[in-house]
Amino acid sequence: MTTSFYNGVSGLISFQSGIDIWGDNIANINTIGYKASIPEFATIFSNTLQNASPTSDIGLGTYLHSSAKDMSIGSLVKTDNTFDLAIGDEGWFAVKNGDKTFYTRNGTFKRDAEGFLVNDNGEYLLVANANNLIQKDDIYYVNQNVDTTNLLPNKELSPISLPENVILPAVATKNVELQANLNDDRTISTTKPATKDIDISALYDKNGNDLQVRNNQSFVFGFGNNVTYNSGNLTSTFCMENDQLDGKEVNIDFILNGTQINLTLPDGSTKEEIAKTIADELNSKGFIAKADNGKLSITTQNKFVLQSNTPLMESTAAAKLTYKTEPTNPFEFSTLNDLINEIQTLANVAYPNKVEVSLDNKGRIVVTNNSLNTLNSYIQTTENSNDLFISNLGRVGNEIYPQTSNKSYTFNQNTQEFGGYVIDQNGNKLPTTISFTKEKVLNNQIIWKGEITIQTPNEALKTTKDFTFNSDGYLISPTSISFNNINFSFDLTSFSKIDPFGINYSFTQDGVEEGYLKNYEVLDNGKIVGIFSNSKQVTLAQIPVFHFQNDQGLANVGGNNFIQTDNSGKAFLYLNENGEYLSPKILSHTLETSNVNFAQAMTELIVTQKAFQASAKTVTTSDQMIQRAIDMKR
């Protein structure tokens, strides 16, 4: 009968503990980071009845076996405090009080009077400190030579002070990287007037269409008497006149392609006699000449340069002008300057000191007549002419009236410009431009002329370099240039229209302007960074998140703090196979609320209360039964 007393009393004691635990859970329902406790009960050893079945026993009551922690994550709420932190997964913050280290899920941290991160109990948050702040007087400067890539697990843990007055010193640019595609389409919009040094193969017309002049393409240009072209032969016809009887012989004096022709005919010679005599002389010199009814037709190969000292024949200069990537004779050209010089040379033969050939600032070839007479210029196509190029020459081949000019249409060049800035040693931002002009097209390569311009307060620093691309549009060289103590590296392509591989324009540099601290932030990986006025951020520390083999083995020491025990094992960090720290997500401006389930807590409290009352009833009933037994003895 006394066993019932034991059962009732043990129940009263156990259920009182259960009421205490559930009451504590309810009391902490608004405590940040609180983890609910779950009471777990067990039976006391039982007595086995003698002379009875082995399974027949009488229980000796119950006791509180343990109080398990509910480690589920509570609800997350947003706050205005940067250093209100919540762990988005399992794990614990580490805080320090004196020589003791505690572990908690309560992330209510703030900066104290000295700038240290502490919780409401004044305990310091432990972090891996980069130690990259240097104090000079009352100002702190960031040491940017400190590597902050892998602070954990390499750095020892310590509290951290985050001061107000922090300056990020300027760092001069050492490296610039340009990533871009140079548009090499048949029609472009990024043009500007051509300059004299541009190669003819890289010219575009006034509408931005690629003229596509290629090796060995040619045309005939001339001044003076008209010249026609046929299969490499240049032919010009001169009309002779009868000589008037004046007692003077007829003197014929001219130079044709460097060959001197001097003839003397009798006074009063007819035009037929004059034409035939000249034709015979030219044929004897290896030229092809024909006299027909007083007309003299002369045929030469590729050039027709006739300097005349006789009024019967007009000075004439015409030549087959051929584009060559590497010119080898006076009538081959590669650049606009070459072409202008050759046209000027022909003009000087036909009209000495009367014609000026130039390129104006709109990219037009200009032929100016400085004489008082109308002059003649002309263009003829060949078997390998570029019709687009000849068409763009416009009215250059035509009559030039006195004191006027004939002008071609605009010749353009493909120019593309990319900009950014670099930082000098004084922290100044220097506007920097990298421009590219399509310079030359070879059979299997494309050459772009690159120019880097750095605008300093006093002058514009410039350097140029030819960039070579293969026929598929990929950069061959150079991939980098050293200029003004800066290494410029290039990731360039030269494709038509849009780069099919999605390479977009990007200009990056590693220089840093001086910046002043604006605020602190905590990133998702737990890194504490300073945000500066120059839009740069610097890592100052990293918050570690610790784990245990058995979280249930942690001992609660109050204030939402736990300490490690032999049962929990030592605190450790998650690392990958390379020994690099793996951080769970840490949420700034966020707190984890208590994970107490109010409905469950109230239900369990009521159930435990009823069990307590039932245990009390067991005691009173047992007491009544003993009293009855005593009364029976009396």
Is 548:569 a contact under the CB 8 Å cutoff? yes
Whether residue 385 sits in one domain with residue 259: yes
For residue 586, pLDDT over 50 is answered with yes
Please identify, among 453, 486, 509, the residue that sits at the C-terminal boundary of a domain. 509
Amino acid at 434: I
Amino acid at 528: I
Residue 485's domain is classified under what CATH number?
2.60.98.20
Q: Please name every residue paired with 511 in a beta bridge, in sequence order, or none if there are none.
A: none
Give the pLDDT confidence of 347-398 residue by residue, as tens digits.
999 999 999 999 999 999 999 999 999 999 999 999 999 999 999 998 899 9
Q: Predicted confidence band at 11 (pLDDT cuts at 50, 70, 90)? A: low
Whether residue 393 sits in one domain with residue 438: no
**Per-residue b or e along 354-393, where b marks 16 or more CB atoms closer than 10 Å to that residue's CB:** bbebebeebbbbbbbbeeeeebbbbbbebeebbeebbebb
Whether residue 101 sits in one domain with residue 57: no
Start-to-end CA span in the chain (Å):
19
Whether residue 481 sits in one domain with residue 360: no
Residue 239's contacts (CB-CB under 8 Å, 6 or more residues apart) are: 271, 294, 295, 296
Whether residue 219 sits in one domain with residue 361: yes
Please identify, among 459, 478, 509, the residue that sits at the C-terminal boundary of a domain. 509
Whether residue 215 sits in one domain with residue 91: no
Supply the pLDDT for residue 67: 62
The span from the CA of 156 to the CA of 160, in Å, is 12
Is 470:232 a contact under the CB 8 Å cutoff? no
The span from the CA of 494 to the CA of 500, in Å, is 11
Q: What is the mean pLDDT of the chain?
A: 88
Please identify, among 509, 530, 554, the residue that sits at the C-terminal boundary of a domain. 509
Whether residue 235 sits in one domain with residue 365: yes
Supply the pLDDT for residue 552: 86
pTM for this entry: 0.67
Whether residue 303 sits in one domain with residue 346: yes
How many structural domains is the chain composed of?
4
For residue 13, pLDDT over 80 is answered with no
Supply the pLDDT for residue 34: 72
Give the pLDDT confidence of 457-510 residue by residue, as tens digits.
999 999 999 999 999 999 999 999 999 999 999 999 998 866 555 556 899 999
For residue 593, pLDDT over 80 is answered with no
Three-state DSSP state, 170:
coil
Whether residue 352 sits in one domain with residue 227: yes
Q: Predicted confidence band at 198 (pLDDT cuts at 50, 70, 90)? A: very high
Peptide bond connecting 153 to the previous residue in cis, omega within 30 degrees of 0 = yes
Give the pLDDT confidence of 227-275 residue by residue, as tens digits.
999 999 999 999 999 999 998 999 999 999 999 999 999 999 999 999 9
Q: How many residues does the chain have?
A: 634
Strand ranges in 53-202 using DSSP code E only, listed in sequence order: 57-58, 62-69, 76-78, 86-87, 93-97, 100-104, 110-111, 117-118, 124-125, 127-129, 133-136, 139-142, 157-158, 166-168, 175-181, 191-193
Whether residue 486 sits in one domain with residue 542: no
User: Does 469 or 42 have the greater pLDDT score?
Assistant: 469
Supply the pLDDT for residue 270: 95
**Domain assignment of residue 43, given as a range:** 2-72+595-633
Q: Predicted confidence band at 633 (pLDDT cuts at 50, 70, 90)? A: low
Whether residue 274 sits in one domain with residue 216: yes
Supply the pLDDT for residue 470: 95
The span from the CA of 310 to the CA of 22, in Å, is 128
Alpha-carbon distances, residue 277 vs 161, 196, 246, 247, 281 (angstroms) = 109, 45, 20, 20, 6
Residue 394 is classified by DSSP as G
Supply the pLDDT for residue 631: 72
Q: Predicted confidence band at 48 (pLDDT cuts at 50, 70, 90)? A: very low
Supply the pLDDT for residue 49: 46
Residue 165's contacts (CB-CB under 8 Å, 6 or more residues apart) are: 138, 139, 140, 517
Whether residue 378 sits in one domain with residue 259: yes
Q: Which of 396, 552, 482 is nearest to 69 (CA)?
A: 552
